[in-house]
């Protein structure tokens, strides 16, 4: 009786152990809507259960970043900063301190093209509701767009805005940062090959088992089309485009990348792609290059040895940074 009952259990245990040891290693993937965009993880794993757990950890990490940094969540740390830092120093954690500090250093490097205080006027845009600030409110809020208004106090762990109307938004850097955290989770779990993507920001760990990953650059005026496919290994890539969140009114395209000089959507570009070692930096730089425009943007990237850029201006002309000169033409175009 006793034997009869335990036998099936032991049998199932033995078969499943045997199966796990011979189960072929495989590519696993998952895609979820987080941070107002689509987050995708794909990795090669020797063990399906463990691989799935790693993917779940990455998704949980993305949700944590969203809870911390979303300007739309009433209880996020970022919302608290925007509500109070204009009137008194607000305590913030090490992580936000570091990312805001990194944003400020990119602001200096790009002569203010990247500026998280764009939100001082930027908060008045609502691309779903087709709303943009009036001329009068832009004029009133424009002086509050200036990263120099931000005061970080490292020893007291606080942030303070020298102008009471300042608001910040990390939308130009937070997705890349979250992607880097995702890759760190893959590494910690001994994954050798994988990709983590959040909207326009991706980072690749290793390669596609002996072959490069091919990452497409979207045609800014054709949702299904690609203008290039780039072979990549162990690298990050970010694209900023005027087609992600936008609406048109009286022939003007209002989209989510804002010139800190005018408080208006940048009109002279369609997309900017930046490649480099980490996604936090490529994310911030793709937004920066979009704002700087083709000439200044390429100049910036050509002076950064580990970074490359692909730019499409408002005429649809594609331009490449110097490091692409050695790429075979098939990798740049005709990959539709």
**Between 150 and 272, whose beta carbon lies closer to Mg ion?**
272
* Residue 41 Rama label (left phi>0; alpha psi -120 to 50; beta): beta
- Which residue number is nearest to ligand AMP in terms of Cβ? 171
Determine if 66 is a binding residue for ligand AMP (CB under 6 A).
Answer: no
SS3 261: coil
Q: CB of 310 within 8 A of CB of 320?
A: yes
CA pair distance 114, 85, nearest whole angstrom = 20
CA pair distance 179, 197, nearest whole angstrom = 6
Q: Which of 230, 196, 189, 226 is nearest to 213 (CA)?
A: 230
Q: Give the tokens for residue 210.
A: 């002996």
Determine if 220 is a binding residue for ligand AMP (CB under 6 A).
Answer: no
Determine if 240 is a binding residue for ligand AMP (CB under 6 A).
Answer: yes
Determine if 273 is a binding residue for ligand AMP (CB under 6 A).
Answer: no
**Between 44 and 127, whose beta carbon lies closer to ligand AMP?**
127
User: Which of ligand AMP, Mg ion, none binds 114 (CB below 5-8 Å, type-dependent)?
Assistant: ligand AMP
Determine if 287 is a binding residue for Mg ion (CB under 5 A).
Answer: yes
Determine if 169 is a binding residue for ligand AMP (CB under 6 A).
Answer: yes
Counting residues that bind ligand AMP (by CB under 6 A) gives 18
Q: Hey, which residues between 205 and 244 contact Mg ion (CB under 5 A)?
A: 240
Q: Which of 292, 185, 202 is nearest to 239 (CA)?
A: 202
**Between 259 and 286, whose beta carbon lies closer to Mg ion?**
286
User: Which of Mg ion, ligand AMP, none binds 77 (CB below 5-8 Å, type-dependent)?
Assistant: none
**Sole binder of ligand AMP in the list 69, 186, 237, 291 (CB under 6 A):** 291
Count the Cβ atoms, other than its own, within 10 Å of residue 155.
Answer: 5
Counting residues that bind Mg ion (by CB under 5 A) gives 5
The structure tokens 């779903």 sit at 128
Q: Is the dihedral of CA 87, 93, 94, 99 positive or negative?
A: negative
**Sole binder of ligand AMP in the list 61, 66, 115, 235 (CB under 6 A):** 115
Write down the H helix ranges in the chain: 2-22, 48-69, 77-84, 94-109, 119-122, 135-141, 174-188, 279-292, 294-302, 329-332
Residue 190, C-beta contacts closer than 8 angstroms, at least 6 positions apart? none
Give the shortest CB-139-to-ligand AMP separation in angstroms.
18
Q: Which of 268, 250, 226 is nearest to 130 (CA)?
A: 250
Determine if 273 is a binding residue for Mg ion (CB under 5 A).
Answer: no
Which range in 11-19, 32-40, 220-228, 285-293 contacts Mg ion by CB under 5 A? 285-293
**Between 103 and 321, whose beta carbon lies closer to ligand AMP?**
103
User: Which of ligand AMP, Mg ion, none binds 116 (CB below 5-8 Å, type-dependent)?
Assistant: ligand AMP
Which range in 5-13, 61-69, 219-227, 251-259 contacts ligand AMP by CB under 6 A? 251-259
Task: Give how far Cα 298 sits from Cα of 210, 240, 278, 302, 312, Å.
Answer: 31, 15, 19, 6, 11
Determine if 286 is a binding residue for Mg ion (CB under 5 A).
Answer: yes
Determine if 258 is a binding residue for ligand AMP (CB under 6 A).
Answer: yes
Give the shortest CB-16-to-ligand AMP separation in angstroms.
44
The structure tokens 């990953």 sit at 213
**Between 51 and 199, whose beta carbon lies closer to Mg ion?**
199
Binding region for ligand AMP (CB under 6 A): 114-116, 118, 169, 171-172, 200, 240, 244, 256-258, 260, 283, 286-287, 291
Residues engaged in binding Mg ion (CB under 5 A):
172, 240, 283, 286-287
């Amino acid at each position: 009786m006793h034997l009869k009952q335990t036998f099936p259990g032991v049998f199932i245990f033995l078969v499943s152990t045997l199966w796990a040891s011979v189960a072929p290693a495989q590519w696993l993937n998952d895609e979820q809507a987080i941070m107002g965009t689509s987050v995708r993880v794909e990795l090669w794993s020797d063990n399906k259960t463990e691989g799935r757990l790693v993917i779940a950890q990455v998704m949980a990490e993305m949700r944590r970043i969203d809870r911390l940094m979303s300007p739309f969540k009433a209880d996020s740390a970022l919302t608290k900063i925007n509500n109070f830092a204009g009137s008194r120093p607000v305590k913030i954690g090490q992580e936000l301190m570091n990312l805001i500090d990194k944003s400020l250093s990119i602001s200096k490097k790009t002569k203010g093209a990247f500026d998280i205080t764009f939100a001082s006027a930027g908060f008045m845009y609502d691309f779903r509701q087709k709303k943009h600030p009036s001329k009068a409110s832009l004029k009133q809020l424009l002086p509050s767009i200036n990263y120099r208004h931000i005061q970080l106090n490292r020893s007291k762990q606080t942030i303070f805005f020298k102008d009471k109307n300042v608001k910040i938004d990390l939308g130009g850097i937070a997705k890349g940062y979250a992607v880097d955290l995702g890759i760190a989770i893959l590494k910690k779990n001994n994954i050798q090959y994988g990709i983590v993507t959040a909207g326009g920001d991706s980072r690749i760990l290793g390669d596609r088992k002996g072959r490069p990953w091919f990452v497409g650059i979207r045609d800014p005026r054709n949702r299904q089309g690609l203008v290039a496919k780039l072979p990549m290994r162990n690298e990050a890539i970010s694209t900023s485009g005027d087609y992600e969140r936008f609406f048109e009114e009286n022939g003007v395209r209002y989209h989510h990348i804002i010139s800190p000089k005018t408080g208006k959507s940048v009109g002279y570009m369609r997309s900017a792609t930046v490649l480099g070692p980490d996604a936090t930096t490529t994310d911030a730089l793709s937004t920066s290059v979009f704002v700087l425009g083709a000439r200044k943007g390429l100049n910036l990237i050509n002076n950064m040895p580990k970074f490359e850029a692909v730019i499409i201006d408002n005429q649809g002309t594609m331009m490449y940074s110097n490091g692409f000169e050695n790429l075979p033409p098939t990798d740049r175009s005709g990959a539709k």
